[in-house]
Structure 1
């Protein structure tokens, strides 16, 4: 059994890493292609607009996280009915929230850019990007659900194909719209929107192939069960609070960066994109942890989960270490791919080494996230994030803002990742290692 679990974990990790390599390419391509323009204003503008999209889109990424864990538990218990109920209820939530965002988009834009700090030209570029990307809201949220459902069923290869297709199209459209049609920030947003709808269509085609399995249980499914939605929303509320605090942390970091000037904001945006790439590498193991943890909870196999958790922690650290070495050695050449602005490249190189502590500490935090998401312990994740944000991040970040010091800002982000790793690690050790447990009940 142990060897089978390890093989499953490593297989899922491999496919997840390959799939995740393409996920940050959405914003990576936006920044890289816009960086080929003469002005760094467009890169800074997209970075500013992405603060809003972090709240509007990633704020609802609980649709992916909760769907993965709950589906994995249903699959581990061989409950097809529950698996499809989770999918349909989550899709209804995703479509509903996405449509509401579309209706409120003008108010969200006006309020968001009135709060964010930035130079007039930077805000103008950000608003153009916002207008063209906001139309992808329903597709983006449905993609969260569909990605989570296929991952929960251990179909990482399916997610890999969907993300590769969407992001290759996004990159191609970015080049066409920005460099050839000169649509600048607006073109970057349109390219992303088209790629999201294409990804959603691809998922729905694959979902249609599940119709025979669905027809076997459809008469038992209760889509509009109040109890089912209450349970789903209870878990989602904890994960949503956790995610909103995560987004707020990075948003404050970027907003404080904007107070240091557009060049520093652009440099930090480049480094942030690289951290996102590294985080998605590590998330290959973290998402595999979610799937395996959920399945093991469904099977009531706590001993197997402990073994996989140890393996996942080691895997995450090795992946993060390898990524840091790969990125930091040729740093200046890499930064020049993102921007033609020499001052921006110089600043990115000066602060680039902060990528290492952020990702090395973060590797443990990400794996523990996957562990607790898989067994649907949203409250633990919420509490850890509250402590990490308020104690480990905000006081240091605010100090950096007052001192007008970007190194202190980066130190606050490193401290934040360390706080997440410590708080989650303590709970995991006390609850699942210090005391021997025979079951999850």
Structure 2
């Protein structure tokens, strides 16, 4: 079982780690310019697109879970119909996003506050990056489908290619053409479309035979569409909670001042970097849990759950140790502004304990997605957001200021894992009722 997990997890980690590396490069490019407003602009712009795109990440998660179960049941035609159905929906959603870009921009900057200079740059970033919507959502679908087919290598190839291309373009636009935050946005748009081209090429290279199963009526079958939207509506609510928490975190940071916004934007990279590593094992959980549900193997399902927590705990301990001994070094890589580094060091202990307190929530998400236990995952997230995160922040903020944002974030991550642990016996019984 460990071999199967690592076979899927390692390519996912390699592909995932290019994402925070991209974020780190963007942040470092802005951090080495002559003003901290560029960091704030990219941070605010990124939050808006996280809100938009993370909200539709169900296109990846739902596609992965359903495809893995179809793979376990050896239903080739259904696996192809899942891909076609998800691509059709992602295209429709992306066209709606582009057509509504002006009201989305207006609403976004009504909700997120920043200084006038930061907001002007963030708007410029938004107006460029919005055109990547069809490619971004298309990549969600392709990578989720490849993973469901137990193929972690193709998402790795598409992610590495797109993100390396993104880094090269962003660096060129910022350093050679002096486009600053707008150059980062333009690099992202072009790289996303390259990723889609590569993903489509890989599909036809290895799965072209599946196109013989094309059946329009099967793709838009009301029963399957209803099931798809039911699971994905729960995942949407779950993801919306994540988006809300991170948007709240950034918005409250910006409401303090540009300096704290820049500090928190730098520090949150530590959490995101760990998240993309641990998500490698969570994605392996999606693929394997879904496969064993399709094969109706309760014993293998339980075994993969235990193994994933073993690997997750080891990774969490390793990252906490890394952040303990190298936090100042990492900060100096992200920015050469000494005032930001010194302020960030005041909050370093929250970063050190983050991996240990949060890893369970990531592992459980992968298992729940593979089992399409979307309702339980949704309820856990709602509980962590409404009952833990918000009360935690508002109770502590008057006493400890910006520290309250970090305490509330850690309580949010921890409580997600706790809620899902208590709900797991129910998920197990529902998934394997005859066992």
Deviation at 1:440, TM superposition (A): 6.5
2:202 alignment partner, one of 203, 206, 211? 206
Q: Secondary structure at the match of 2:61?
A: helix
Whether 2:242 is the aligned partner of 1:246: answer yes
Whether 2:395 is the aligned partner of 1:408: answer no
1:113 alignment partner, one of 85, 96, 109? 109
Name the CA distance, whole Å, in 2 between partners of 1:23 and 1:292: 23
Deviation at 1:48, TM superposition (A): 1.2
Contact residue 162 and residue 191 of structure 2 kept, 8 A: yes
Name the CA distance, whole Å, in 2 between partners of 1:366 and 1:204: 29
The number of residues matched between the two structures is 435
Name the CA distance, whole Å, in 2 between partners of 1:300 and 1:154: 17
Q: Secondary structure at the match of 1:300?
A: coil
Contact residue 73 and residue 296 of structure 1 kept, 8 A: yes
Name the CA distance, whole Å, in 2 between partners of 1:215 and 1:188: 37
Name the CA distance, whole Å, in 2 between partners of 1:153 and 1:436: 24
Contact residue 38 and residue 340 of structure 1 kept, 8 A: no
Name the CA distance, whole Å, in 2 between partners of 1:130 and 1:436: 43
Alpha-carbon distance change, 395 to 220 in structure 1, aligned in 2, over 3 angstroms: closer
Alpha-carbon distance change, 220 to 437 in structure 1, aligned in 2, over 3 angstroms: closer
Residue 192 (structure 1) aligns with = 188
2:337 alignment partner, one of 317, 330, 341? 341
Q: Which moved more, 1:136-145 or 1:317-326?
A: 317-326
TM-score normalised per structure 1:
0.95
2:290 alignment partner, one of 287, 294, 308? 294
Alpha-carbon distance change, 377 to 440 in structure 1, aligned in 2, over 3 angstroms: farther
Name the CA distance, whole Å, in 1 between partners of 2:377 and 2:430: 22
Deviation at 1:406, TM superposition (A): 1.3
Name the CA distance, whole Å, in 2 between partners of 1:374 and 1:166: 26
Name the CA distance, whole Å, in 2 between partners of 1:280 and 1:11: 17
Alpha-carbon distance change, 438 to 185 in structure 1, aligned in 2, over 3 angstroms: closer
Residue 59 (structure 1) aligns with = 55
Name the CA distance, whole Å, in 1 between partners of 2:216 and 2:335: 56
Structure 2, unaligned runs of 5 or more: none
Deviation at 1:211, TM superposition (A): 5.2
Residue 227 (structure 1) aligns with = 223
Structure 1, unaligned runs of 5 or more: none
2:281 alignment partner, one of 265, 281, 285? 285
Deviation at 1:431, TM superposition (A): 4.8
Deviation at 1:40, TM superposition (A): 1.0
Name the CA distance, whole Å, in 1 between partners of 2:88 and 2:209: 20
Name the CA distance, whole Å, in 2 between partners of 1:219 and 1:110: 41
1:304 alignment partner, one of 297, 300, 309? 300
> Residue deviations 1:246-287, cap 9 Å, x none?
110111111111122111111111111221110010011111
Alpha-carbon RMSD across the aligned residues, in angstroms, is 1.8
> Residue deviations 1:165-186, cap 9 Å, x none?
1111111111111122110111
Name the CA distance, whole Å, in 1 between partners of 2:434 and 2:216: 27
> Residue deviations 1:299-352, cap 9 Å, x none?
000111111101101211211221222233122121122122211111222212
Residue 394 (structure 1) aligns with = 390
> Residue deviations 1:7-66, cap 9 Å, x none?
211211111111111122332222121111011111111111222111111110000001
Residue 150 (structure 1) aligns with = 146
Alpha-carbon distance change, 73 to 431 in structure 1, aligned in 2, over 3 angstroms: closer
Deviation at 1:210, TM superposition (A): 4.1
Whether 2:338 is the aligned partner of 1:353: answer no
Contact residue 24 and residue 280 of structure 1 kept, 8 A: yes
Q: Which moved more, 1:213-222 or 1:102-111?
A: 213-222
Residue 81 (structure 1) aligns with = 77
Q: Secondary structure at the match of 1:222?
A: helix
Q: Which moved more, 1:375-384 or 1:255-264?
A: 255-264
Name the CA distance, whole Å, in 1 between partners of 2:340 and 2:215: 60
Name the CA distance, whole Å, in 1 between partners of 2:241 and 2:434: 28
Residue 136 (structure 1) aligns with = 132
Whether 2:260 is the aligned partner of 1:260: answer no
Residue 370 (structure 2) aligns with = 374
Residue 413 (structure 2) aligns with = 417
Name the CA distance, whole Å, in 2 between partners of 1:154 and 1:73: 11
Residue 119 (structure 2) aligns with = 123
> Residue deviations 1:206-250, cap 9 Å, x none?
112245421442358712212221111111000000000111011
Deviation at 1:359, TM superposition (A): 2.2
Alpha-carbon distance change, 399 to 344 in structure 1, aligned in 2, over 3 angstroms: farther
